[in-house]
Amino acid sequence: MDKGYEKEPFVTVKIKESVMKKFRSYCKQLGCSQSMTLLVMLEFFETSGISPKERMDSKMQTLESLVKKRINHVIAVIKEQEKTQTKPTLSMLKALFEGAALKDTPKFVEKKPKKKPPKFVEKKSGNSCQTDPCNPAKVTH
C-alpha cells in the first residue's frame, strides 16, 4: 500500500492498452505502485518547470555549457590556490626541514682515540721462573 494514501479510494483512468503496458513496465523498474509512479512523475514536472511536450535538446545544451563554465571556474580557482598558497608553503617547509637537518649536526665532534698497540712489549726470558696464575705472589723455580 502507498504510505499516506491508504484511505483514499481508487479511481479509474482510461488509457490505451499499449500505453498501459509501457507504464506498468516503467512502474516495475521504479519499484513503485502505479499511483505513486504517476505522482512522482507529476511532481517532477511541476518542480523542474519542464513540460513533457517540449524537447530538452536546447535546455540540455544550455545546462551543459553552464556546467562546463563552472567546472572551468573551479579549475582556475584551484590553480590559483596552488600558485599562491600550496607551492610557497611547500617551499617554506622544505627550507625549514633542510635548516633543521643542518642544525642537528654538531659543529664540533669529539674524536675518540684509536687503540694503538703498546710501544713496548715485555719479552719472555728463557729463565724458568713462573708465576702461579691463582696466586701471583707465589713464584716457582
Quote the DSSP letter at residue 139.
E
Which residues on neighbouring strands pair with residue 139, listed in sequence order? 131
* Residue 22: predicted pLDDT: 95
* Residue 135: predicted pLDDT: 56
The mean pLDDT value for 100-111 works out to: 68
Kindly report, residue by residue over 38-87, the tens digit of the pLDDT. 999 999 888 877 777 777 677 777 888 888 999 999 999 999 998 888 88
Its CATH architecture, for the domain 1-53, is Orthogonal Bundle (1.10)
Percent of the chain with pLDDT over 70: 79
Which residues on neighbouring strands pair with residue 140, listed in sequence order? 130
What pTM did the predictor assign?
A: 0.40
**Closest by Cα among 58, 63, 26 to 41:** 26
* Residue 79: predicted pLDDT: 92
Q: How confident is the model at residue 131 (pLDDT cuts 50, 70, 90)?
A: low
Measured CA to CA, the distance from residue 10 to residue 39 in angstroms comes to 14
Which residue, chain included where needed, has cell 590556490?
Answer: 81
Higher-scoring residue by pLDDT: 33, 98: 33
pLDDT at residue 104 is higher than 90: no
Kindly list the distances between the CA atom of residue 86 and the CA atoms of 82, 89, 98, in Å, as whole numbers in the listed order.
Answer: 5, 5, 18
Kindly list the distances between the CA atom of residue 120 and the CA atoms of 31, 41, 114, 116, 117, in Å, as whole numbers in the listed order.
Answer: 103, 108, 17, 11, 9
Q: How confident is the model at residue 27 (pLDDT cuts 50, 70, 90)?
A: very high
What does pLDDT average to over the chain? 80
Pairing of strands 139-140, 130-131: antiparallel
> Using an 8 Å Cβ cutoff, are 105 and 111 in contact?
no
Which residues on neighbouring strands pair with residue 130, listed in sequence order? 140
Q: Where are the domains of the chain?
A: 1-53, 55-100
- How far from chain centre, in Å, is Cα 11? 54
